[in-house]
């Protein structure tokens, strides 16, 4: 890539960095601790809510969480309707179906119960309520929503995406094999419920991959060039928590302390990247999610070590700081950075996460150029990565993760 283009990208990133100081970053009101879910009806009543749309998926509805919450709301005199058809990598159709139910029931707020998929679907529904004449596709990218959403309550049931605190909603359009983020501070939920009990039923392979998503947020935010002192602290603490608690939560899903700390890690990772951005790992993961439905956390977990290695010396100093934070020693920054990347690979391996995208998600040769186009469009010029990659670099990444 020529120097002038790189310079333009860096200038754009600097402008966004400065502009962010003037954007609103609301702090959410939170309910915390085991059993918080059932404190919600009183909470919503105290906020004067009359009609609630609960957005969730069929697995969580099957556990009875949304039903219990709806019953509690009804008892508290609040109308509750449930939309439970959100699919992993939520689609525009999910949003439109949820929107219809929201309107039919004259809802005045949205409760998102689930992982990133229900939370992002709920955000998408909120965007459509706020901008009834604008299709979701037109909100793709940065600062395209611009209107206040109805109050959004997020109840994360995975510990990974951090969507409960981020300015992003990641939406899929299967017709175009596309997956893209809508990024606008108006989508940041105003209310969050952290109930670790809700995460104890997460199967180990979802615990591991969603947890690696949290690590990816922290690492990509930290090595990028748009950090504030707060995002640096958040990213370091998130990294420490993932290294300390993810394997514990994977080994023993009932370990409530590990579950609670992973919820904190996900929240911190989300907070860090919502100001400091993600990077090429996410651009690759979103392209793979859009084309083949690869679960987001899995795609990130596989791609993270490859992307970090490809950054080479430009990321050594920051990775060495993260290495220090998790107790990895080395003679110099290079050695520490390499050992940190190796520790990520070991963590993946210890939780049976493969080092290639394979099986039913195998990348097809004929798709690679389009995958590269999607990834590069998402990442450049927005993401303030340590080194700006061009098409050939991104192609190398897809070939590296290809099984
Ligand atoms: N908005 C953001 O800032 C942001 C950030 C990162 C990722 N994302 C997006 O979030 C989505 C992924 O979210 P995710 O990784 O949380 O997964 P998910 O919401 O798709 O859930 C994964 C699976 O786990 C199940 N599940 C969820 N909670 C469970 C529980 N407590 N017990 C048992 N099963 C449970 C779900 O039913 C689903 O089958 C992707 O679309 C990704 O692009 C968004
Ligand atoms: Fe992510």
Distance between CA 223 and CA 235 in Å, rounded? Answer: 10
Residue that the structure tokens 């420490």 belong to: 240
Per-residue pLDDT tens digits of the chain, which is 403 residues long: 789 999 999 999 999 999 999 998 989 999 999 999 999 999 999 999 999 999 999 999 999 999 999 999 999 999 999 999 999 999 999 999 999 999 999 999 999 999 999 999 999 999 999 999 999 999 999 999 999 999 999 999 999 999 999 999 999 999 998 989 999 999 999 999 999 999 999 999 999 999 999 999 999 999 999 999 999 999 999 999 999 999 999 999 999 999 999 999 999 999 999 999 999 999 999 999 999 999 999 999 999 999 999 999 999 999 999 999 999 999 999 999 999 999 999 999 999 999 999 999 999 999 999 999 999 999 999 999 999 999 999 999 999 999 8
Which pLDDT score is estimated for 315? 98
Which pLDDT score is estimated for 198? 96
Burial label, 19 (beta-carbon count in 10 A; 0-12, 13-18, 19+)? exposed
**pLDDT tens digits along 236-246:** 999 999 999 99
Give 201-401's CATH code, choosing from 1.20.1250.20, 1.10.287.70, 1.20.1090.10, 2.60.40.1180: 1.20.1090.10
Strands, sheet with 79-83, edge to edge from the N-terminal-most edge strand: 29-32, 191-194, 152-156, 109-114, 51-55, 79-83
Distance between CA 88 and CA 295 in Å, rounded? Answer: 7
User: Quick check: CB of 117 below 6 Å from ligand 1?
Assistant: yes
Phi, psi of 83, rounded to the nearest 5 degrees: -110, 115
User: Quick check: CB of 120 below 6 Å from ligand 1?
Assistant: yes
Q: How far is the CA of 286 from the centre of ligand 2 (A)?
A: 9
Distance between CA 52 and CA 127 in Å, rounded? Answer: 16
- Sorted by where each begins, the domain ranges of the chain are 25-199, 201-401
Which pLDDT score is estimated for 380? 97
Q: How far is CA 366 from CA 26, 232, 399, in A?
A: 44, 40, 12
The number of C-alpha atoms within 13 Å of 315 and in the hemisphere containing its C-beta is 29
Give 25-199's CATH code, choosing from 3.90.1200.10, 3.40.50.1970, 3.30.1360.120, 1.10.357.10: 3.40.50.1970
User: Quick check: CB of 115 below 6 Å from ligand 1?
Assistant: yes
Q: What angle do CA 378, 401, 227 make, to 5 degrees?
A: 45
Q: Measured from the CA of 273, which atom of ligand 1 is nearest? A: 3
Token pair recorded at residue 148? 């206040």
Q: How far is the CA of 22 from the centre of ligand 1 (A)?
A: 31
Burial label, 331 (beta-carbon count in 10 A; 0-12, 13-18, 19+)? exposed
Which pLDDT score is estimated for 26? 86
Q: Measured from the CA of 166, which atom of ligand 1 is nearest? A: 3
Q: pTM for the full model?
A: 0.96
Phi, psi of 28, rounded to the nearest 5 degrees: -80, 150
Distance between CA 319 and CA 76 in Å, rounded? Answer: 50
User: Quick check: CB of 166 below 6 Å from ligand 1?
Assistant: yes
Q: Measured from the CA of 123, which atom of ligand 1 is nearest? A: 1
User: Quick check: CB of 199 below 6 Å from ligand 1?
Assistant: yes
Pick from 36, 37, 120 the residue to mutate for probing ligand 1's pocket: most ligand atoms within 8 Å of its CB.
Answer: 120
In this structure, which residue's CA is closest to atom 17 in ligand 1? 115
Q: How far is CA 310 from CA 33, 231, 306, 347, 385, in A?
A: 40, 24, 6, 19, 12
């Amino acid at each position: 890539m020529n120097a002038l283009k790189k310079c333009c990208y860096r200038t754009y990133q600097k402008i966004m960095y400065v502009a962010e100081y003037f954007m609103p970053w609301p702090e959410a009101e939170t309910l915390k601790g085991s059993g918080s879910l059932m404190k919600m009806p009183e909470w919503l009543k105290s906020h004067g809510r009359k009609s609630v749309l609960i957005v969730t998926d069929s697995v969580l509805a099957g556990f009875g969480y949304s039903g219990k919450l709806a019953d509690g709301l009804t008892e508290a005199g609040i109308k509750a309707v449930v939309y439970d058809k959100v699919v992993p990598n939520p689609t525009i159709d999910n949003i439109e179906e949820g929107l219809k139910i929201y309107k039919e029931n004259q809802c005045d707020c949205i409760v998102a119960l689930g992982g990133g998929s229900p939370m992002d679907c709920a955000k998408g529904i909120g965007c459509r309520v706020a901008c009834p004449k604008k299709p979701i596709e037109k909100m793709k990218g940065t600062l395209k929503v611009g209107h206040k959403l109805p109050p959004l309550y997020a109840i994360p049931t995975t510990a990974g995406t951090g969507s409960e605190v981020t300015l992003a909603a990641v939406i899929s359009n299967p017709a175009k094999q596309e997956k893209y983020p809508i990024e606008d501070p108006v989508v940041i939920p105003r209310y969050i419920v952290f109930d670790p009990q809700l995460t104890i039923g997460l199967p180990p392979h979802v615990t591991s991959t969603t947890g690696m998503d949290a690590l990816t947020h922290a690492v990509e935010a930290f090595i990028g060039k748009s950090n504030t002192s707060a995002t640096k602290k958040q990213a370091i603490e998130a990294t420490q928590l993932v290294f300390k608690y993810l394997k514990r939560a994977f080994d023993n899903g009932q370990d409530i302390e590990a579950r609670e700390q992973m919820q904190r890690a996900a929240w911190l990772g989300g907070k860090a990247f919502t100001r400091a951005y993600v990077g090429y790992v996410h651009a690759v993961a979103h392209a793979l999610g859009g084309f083949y439905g690869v679960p987001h956390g899995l795609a990130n977990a596989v791609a993270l070590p490859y992307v970090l290695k490809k950054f080479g010396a430009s990321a050594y100093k920051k990775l060495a700081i993260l290495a220090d934070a998790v107790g990895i020693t080395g003679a110099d920054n290079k050695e520490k950075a390499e050992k940190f990347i190796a520790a990520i690979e070991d963590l993946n391996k210890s939780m049976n996460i493969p080092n290639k995208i394979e099986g039913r998600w195998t990348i097809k040769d004929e798709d690679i150029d389009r995958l590269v186009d999607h990834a590069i469009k998402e990442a450049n010029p927005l993401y303030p990565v340590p080194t700006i990659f061009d098409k050939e670099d991104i192609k190398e990444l897809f070939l590296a993760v290809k099984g």
